[in-house]
Amino acid sequence: MKRTYTHPPLHTRYVQHGQQPQAKQVFEGRSFGSSTGKDTVRIFPMGGAGNVTKNMYLYEYRYDGKLRDILIVDCGIGFPDEEMFGVDLVIPDVRYLMDKRDKIRAIVFTHGHDDHIGGLPYIYPKLGKIPMYAPTLAAAFANLKLKETPIRDRVQGMSFDKHVEAGPFKVSFIRLTHSVPDTSHLVIETPIGIFYHGSDFKFDPTPLDNKPSELHKINAVGKKGVLCMLSDCLGSERPGFTPSEQIIGETIEKELRLSHGKVLFTTQSSNISRIQLAIELAQKHGRKIAFLGRSIDKNVEESVKLGYMKFPRDVIINDRDLKRLPAEKQFLVVAGAQGQPSSNLFRIASDAHKMVRLTDADTVIISADPIPGRENDVNKLIDQIYRHGARVSYSDIMEDLHVSGHGSSGDMMLLLSAVGPRYVWPIGGTYKHLMQYRRLAGDLGYDKREVLIPEDGEVMEFSEHGAPRIVDRVPLEDIMIDGLGIGDVGNVVLKDRQVIAHEGIVVVVIPVDRRNGRMISPPEIITRGFVYAKGSQQLLNRASSVAEHALTLKKGRITDWQMVKKRIEESLKEYLLKETGRSPLIVPVVLEV
């Protein structure tokens, strides 16, 4: 049954439009550290600025300009955009750290989502043996990823009453509500003052795990005085407060009542509280539960082991036993909420799954919104499910089927007024979210110069006295994961893939006598994705002649084939562009016979 609630009363510092926030008045005149005047702290978003994913932040302590210590917060993955053909994942560019590894004191994680922990197996081996800390569930999820690699080091789980000492940094954890349990904000104490690292959050007064945000801790750190707060801003365009997770239960139950066949439920595999809710409702309606997908399986298993999920074991069945169970008794928790082509849900929708087939009696519940860049994949998935006649429920057509894990403008203003930092730095959103957050902060009396929005690669330096300033710019690239390769797909390879996708490819095969290095027959032209060969024979014959002419410009025995290939490539590119208006990728191949 739907639980009603009211939002918690706003902190006393939460003020109306145009008023100076009391939080800033509390800050002014305070001394926050034991600074000698030579101490500074630099913050660098290593995953880039204006990114929703690929979260990774460096906190650098320097004395008299010299780097002494580094604290890393989060190490996440990003997702390829539509122009990154064949790329699986994107990770932060850590080249900046390669000559500074001896200065890294710890990595601390805020919560267990992949865009905050997923880069760990790829990046940790480059950094050496570094202590790693995270709230208990986030540590468990991160360690699941490490167990799949040769890495033996593990992330240490931390309760919310513990803190981490890492060189001059003292890091404490504050529990916040989000779409995964054990989400934390970090209070980072340094010689020059306190930094509040407020990544993904919302204020949910009735969270599914019954563990609300620790508002008393937020108020306490605000009273101490915070030099700068980094704050999640992804929901800055939404008015009011983000609803509680509790409202989703009523919608799921409605779908269960309407379905005459099996029900497939998908959400983020780390959203275990929502999965727990769905299991309880399915059990109430007499259905058996099967988990389909490696990520779902492992996260549920680990969550049960740690006590974050509870359900009778006899309600769980193996996917191999589904054929013996009536469809109306099946509830399948399936991985693939983002339409990933390799996921179980995509394979089911494509009739490629060994155990599950969709029918027109079935219902598919997609309890997740597409992350930026995955909208097309999710739309294709929904279309494919509809082709089977199944009922599809998703947030675009059904209210209260998905609730964001990110706060709306009210949540953000509540946090900002409670913490009352001298400076605020919006993170975790695109540029439009950053700018909207600046407007919200302006409503609380913050000057534009007090809302920090650095550009990509810029390093911000703080001192105890004086305004923060940009002191460096570090070049950053997207490091792409393609299969087993890490970073071997660079801009050149990606550009070639883009050309092939948009313009096609032309392969020029040049048969050459091995003994004298001379061409023995005209070049053969092979095309894919460029023109229809049978209908363009005249064009291809002329292209062969152009390549042959470029080859015969070189007299005598050819020894420098690289130069000849370059000449053929340039000549053909000019000819094909003139004749067709297209610029395919041209690949000359010398075949010795």
| Residues forming the active site | 232, 406
β-bridge partners, 262: none
- Based on C-alpha coordinates, what's the Rg of the chain? 28
What the block records as the tokens of 304 is 């049960």
Kind of pairing, strands 524-528 and 505-512?
Answer: antiparallel
CB 108 within 8 Å of CB 86: no
Distance, CA of 308 to chain centre: 24
**CB-hemisphere CA count at 13 Å for 495?**
4
In DSSP notation, 248-266 reads HHHHHHHHHHH-SS-EEEE
DSSP one-letter code for 556 = S
Q: Which helix (H) or strand (E) holds 437?
A: helix 431-443
End-to-end CA distance of the chain: 78
CB 374 within 8 Å of CB 381: no
Q: Which helix (H) or strand (E) holds 566?
A: helix 561-580
Q: In what order do the strands lie in the sheet with 524-528?
A: 524-528, 505-512, 585-592
- b/e code 439-461 from CB counts within 10 Å (16+ = b): ebbebbbbeeebbbbbeebbbbb
- As separate numbers, helices (DSSP H) first and strands (DSSP E) second, the chain gives 15, 25
What the block records as the tokens of 196 is 């509040």
Rounded alpha-carbon distances, angstroms, from residue 354 to 147, 298, 316, 348, 357: 27, 20, 19, 8, 8
Cα–Cα distance, 226 to 525 (Å, whole number): 67
Cβ-in-10-Å burial (0-12, 13-18, 19+) of 558 comes to: middle
In DSSP notation, 182-240 reads SEEEEEEEETTEEEEEE-S-B--SS-TTS----HHHHHHHHHH--SEEEEE-TTTTS-S
Cα–Cα distance, 15 to 20 (Å, whole number): 8
What are the backbone angles phi and psi of residue 585, rounded to the nearest 5°?
-75, 125
CB 527 within 8 Å of CB 507: yes
Helices 294-305 and 136-147 pack at an angle, to 10 degrees, of 130
What are the backbone angles phi and psi of residue 537, rounded to the nearest 5°?
-60, -40
Kind of pairing, strands 391-394 and 363-366?
Answer: parallel
